[in-house]
Amino acid sequence: MKIKDLYETKKTVISLEIFPPKLDSPVETVFKTLDELADINPDFISVTYGAGGKAKDRTLEIASKIKNEYNIESLAHLTCISATKNQIREAFEVMRKNNIENILAMRGDIPEDPDFEFPNPLQYEHAADLISEVKAERDFSIGAACYPEGHVECDSKVKDIKYLKDKVDMGVDFLMTQLFFDNELFFQFMEQIDIAGINVPVSAGIMPVLNKNQVVRMTKLSGCQMPKKLIRILDRYEDNPAALKEAGEAYAIEQIIDLMAWGVRGIHLYTMNKADTAKRIIGNIENIRKLQNN
Ligand code: FAD
């Protein structure tokens, strides 16, 4: 099923994100996680694509398994900054063969390794270059990334939204946000993109805070703000991992309930392959989910 159609049938589309195991671990380790995530009954599961295209075969292998063996809709992330046109065409072919109908088309983070070899000349510069190619294939539903607090590299939020509008106009069916911890910033962003004429469904990316180092690293990378009430949780429980996990999950649940009450079109939970946390969070909103879809 095309993910764009899911947004037509569900009040809030609930999706989960997982990442492939590192290349030195067997791919099977993720299937145990998937066994548990399947119990949540997500509307779809997305699989990340390693920066620089590392483990790309694993992304497609796992996305295929989700679709064809777990019978859950899958979304394959695909990045282009380090890819050649041929590699992207091959990825389309593998997806088609495996019945994968949905692509999250992105530029990708620029690999930090100074020795990383980019195609010369570069064959893709921005996500928009990939989106136009996916669109030309005609048979995929296309998602793209968006940034409620602006993308870290962009010096102006106005320009960032203009580039987002260009991406959407190229044929994007739905958007998925970077993680954020302050819902008010998401609501403001939704108003801004509405004014800019962007009206495809947007899923809100929620990442539960499970340890202080992780969240400090993520906020630095993504440039997202931490509300005072989250800082208090981190300061109070940084040396008490069990309490921090409980508080982090509760924070994510509260964020999701507020987003659903506002009328968000989708919740995308960054599971970090932690099935127990994902189950507790989605379990807590399960009744609201059922009641509002009736
Ligand atoms: P773009 O849309 O190309 O934007 C990148 C920057 O360029 C922005 O600052 C934008 O304002 C600017 N820009 C865009 N168009 C133009 C233009 N025409 N001229 C000048 N500037 C322009 N990364 C991975 O490697 N693998 C993943 O699986 C992955 N999954 C993700 C999932 C989600 C939901 C999100 C939000 C991000 C994910 N990322 C992933 C990270 C993403 O690849 C990075 O944030 C990357 O830096 C930008 O990708 P993009 O597709 O948003 O790029």
Set out the domains of the chain in order of their start, with CATH numbers: 3-208+265-273 (3.20.20.220)
Residue whose CA is closest, atom 30 of ligand 1? 48
Q: Are 165 and 209 in contact (CB under 8 A)?
A: no
Instruction: Report CA(145)–ligand 1 centroid distance (Å).
Output: 6
Cα distances (angstroms) measured from residue 108 to each of 105, 145, 278: 9, 10, 25
Task: Give the model confidence (pLDDT) of 127-169 as tens digits.
Answer: 999 999 999 999 999 999 999 999 999 999 999 999 999 999 9
Instruction: Report the percent of the chain where pLDDT is more than 90.
Output: 89
In the Cβ-directed half-sphere of 255, how many Cα atoms lie within 13 Å? 29
pLDDT computed for residue 271 by the predictor? 98
pLDDT band for position 179 (cuts 50, 70, 90) = very high
Cβ burial 261-288 (10 Å sphere, 16+ → b, else e): eeebbbbbbbbebbbebbbbbbebbeee
Indicate which atom in ligand 1 lies nearest the CA of residue 77: 28
For a ligand 1 pocket test, name from 106, 125, 132 the mutation site with the most ligand atoms within 8 angstroms of its C-beta.
Answer: 106
Task: Give the model confidence (pLDDT) of 47-75 as tens digits.
Answer: 999 876 667 789 999 999 999 999 999 99
Indicate which atom in ligand 1 lies nearest the CA of residue 146: 36
Average pLDDT, the chain: 95
Q: Give yes or no: 149 in active site.
A: no
pLDDT computed for residue 237 by the predictor? 97
Q: Which residue has the tokens 């990825």?
A: 91
pLDDT computed for residue 53 by the predictor? 60
The tokens describing 89, both together, are: 């065409």
pTM for the full model? Answer: 0.97
Ligand 1 — pocket residues by CB below 6 A?
A: 48-49, 51, 77, 79, 106-109, 126-128, 145, 151, 153-154, 160, 163, 167, 176, 178, 205
